[in-house]
């Protein structure tokens, strides 16, 4: 009897399923569009983790590029440059990614085999090394546990290279950075490394009383040959960096890359349309309310050793004057940063703001003379 009942229900379920599949979905039919129409103009852009700034950067790009009809940007949170390179090559649908230039160079063979190009050099990301108070220098990390984010991520790759240059052998762990930060607060690890544009959201809520501080990176010749020297200041992290004691570190370039796409494909046209909108509307990203890192971006800057995406290259050629424009204030900020870094490398005393202003005026006079 039980067997007959089960057969009856099974038969009834099969009939109902067949009827449901055969019946027209009137609501769905009214709203349905061809798949190609749904994907028209869509570009998927892979970022780093939400602990850094690339997610916000991608969101701000989307706000500028999206027009609600012909263009749409879908940010996808990735796991760092090495995985993003693999995703660009193999993962279905990923069109673009924000990558670290040092890791891109380390994975040059795989990236070139995948036909990866770039559309624009973006901003610099700073190397942060946050440690317990009893750790006074990078050398003190020998044999100590240092978290380097996910295995195979951009931070892990950069930390490995940098520690090798500094001849420091640490014990690395691969916890999520938020988990690692709690372990650092409890003294379970000695430090955590993180490559992210400053100020990084991960450190937003840290206070002076947490007993943590950033370690200075020794700017040796080997380090300076591989990375750009820079500093973390009180303006970046007012509760972690004393006003008169900036922390020496290095910066790593971020670049907006493009997957290898057939020129006649819809995806290629979508990315080309993205580039045109992004480059054309770039000036709006310099307005107040956007991330300050946009002021480091020069769309015309080259990434040595890499080929630029052809529509981006063509846009720059067609708009040479527009792409070369930079406000006097932005240029002065870059000039001042250059002076600070050169003095720092040479071991000289820091210049006063008045001295920097005078040097900049001298440079402007020299530049004007060159044009005569």
Whether 26 and 53 share a structural domain: no
Does the pLDDT of residue 172 top 90, yes or no?
yes
CA distance 138 to 166: 8
Query: Mean pLDDT over residues 22-50, rounded?
Result: 61
Considering the domain architecture, whether residues 287 and 142 belong to the same structural domain is answered as yes
Give residue-wise pLDDT tens across range 78-104: 888 888 888 888 888 899 999 999 888
Is 316 in contact with 299 (CB distance < 8 Å)?
yes
Q: Is the same domain home to 311 and 366?
A: no
**What is the domain-level CATH number for residue 298?**
3.40.190.10
Domain that holds residue 11: 2-31
- Shared domain for 372 and 237, answered yes or no, is no
**Cβ within 8 Å of residue 126, ≥6 positions away:** 195, 196, 197, 198, 200, 230, 232, 249, 250, 251, 252
Tell me if 61 sits within 8 A of 45, measured CB to CB. yes
Looking at the fold, whether 334 and 242 belong to one and the same domain comes out as no
Q: Do residues 301 and 354 both lie within one domain?
A: no
The total number of structural domains in the chain stands at: 3
DSSP 281: T
CA distance 36 to 31: 15
Distances (CA, A) of 195 to 49, 92, 210, 230: 11, 27, 21, 13
Distance of alpha carbon 4 from alpha carbon 6, whole angstroms: 5
The answer to whether residue 323 scores a pLDDT higher than 70 is no
* Cα radius of gyration (the chain): 25
Q: Token match 């057939």: residue? A: 262
Mean pLDDT of the chain: 82
Q: What angle do CA 100, 104, 108 make, to 5 degrees?
A: 175
Residues 347 and 205 in one domain: no
Residues 203 and 214 reside in one and the same domain: yes
DSSP 254: E
Judgement on whether residues 358 and 211 belong to the same structural domain of the protein: no
**pLDDT band for position 225 (cuts 50, 70, 90):** confident
Question: Residues 76, 100: one domain?
Answer: yes
- For residues 261 and 350, membership in a common domain is answered with no
Same domain, 330 and 186: no
State pTM to two decimals. Answer: 0.74
């Amino acid at each position: 009897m039980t067997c007959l009942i089960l057969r009856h229900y099974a038969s009834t379920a099969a009939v109902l399923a067949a009827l449901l599949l055969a019946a027209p979905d009137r609501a769905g039919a009214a709203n349905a569009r061809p798949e190609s129409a749904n994907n028209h103009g869509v570009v998927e852009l892979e970022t780093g983790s939400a602990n850094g700034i690339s997610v916000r950067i991608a969101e701000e790009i989307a706000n500028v590029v999206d027009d609600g009809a012909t263009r749409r940007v879908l940010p996808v949170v990735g796991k760092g440059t090495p995985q993003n390179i693999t995703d660009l090559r193999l993962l279905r649908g990923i069109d673009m990614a924000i990558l670290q230039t040092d890791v891109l160079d380390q994975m040059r063979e795989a990236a070139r085999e995948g036909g990866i190009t770039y559309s624009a050099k973006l901003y610099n990301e700073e190397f942060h090394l946050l440690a317990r108070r009893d750790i006074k220098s990078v050398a003190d990390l020998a044999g100590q546990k240092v978290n380097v984010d996910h295995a195979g991520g951009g931070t892990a790759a950069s930390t490995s290279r940098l520690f090798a240059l500094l001849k420091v052998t640490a014990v690395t762990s691969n916890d999520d950075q938020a988990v690692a930060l709690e372990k650092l607060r409890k003294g379970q690890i000695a430090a955590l490394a993180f490559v992210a544009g400053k100020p990084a959201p991960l450190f937003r809520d840290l206070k002076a009383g947490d007993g943590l501080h950033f370690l200075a990176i020794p700017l040796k010749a080997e380090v300076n040959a591989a990375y750009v020297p820079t500093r973390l200041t009180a303006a970046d992290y007012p509760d972690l960096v004393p006003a008169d004691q900036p922390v020496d570190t290095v910066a790593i370039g971020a670049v907006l890359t493009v997957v290898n796409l057939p020129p006649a494909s819809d995806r290629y046209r979508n990315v080309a349309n993205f580039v045109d909108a992004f480059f054309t509307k770039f000036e709006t990203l310099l307005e107040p309310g956007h991330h300050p890192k946009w002021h480091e971006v020069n769309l015309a800057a080259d990434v040595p050793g890499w080929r630029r995406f052809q529509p981006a290259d063509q846009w720059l050629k067609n708009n040479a004057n527009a792409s070369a424009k930079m406000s006097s204030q932005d240029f002065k900020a870059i000039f001042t940063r250059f002076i600070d870094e050169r003095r720092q490398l040479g071991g000289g005393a820091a210049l006063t703001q008045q001295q920097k202003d005078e040097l900049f005026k001298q440079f402007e006079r020299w530049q004007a003379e060159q044009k005569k």
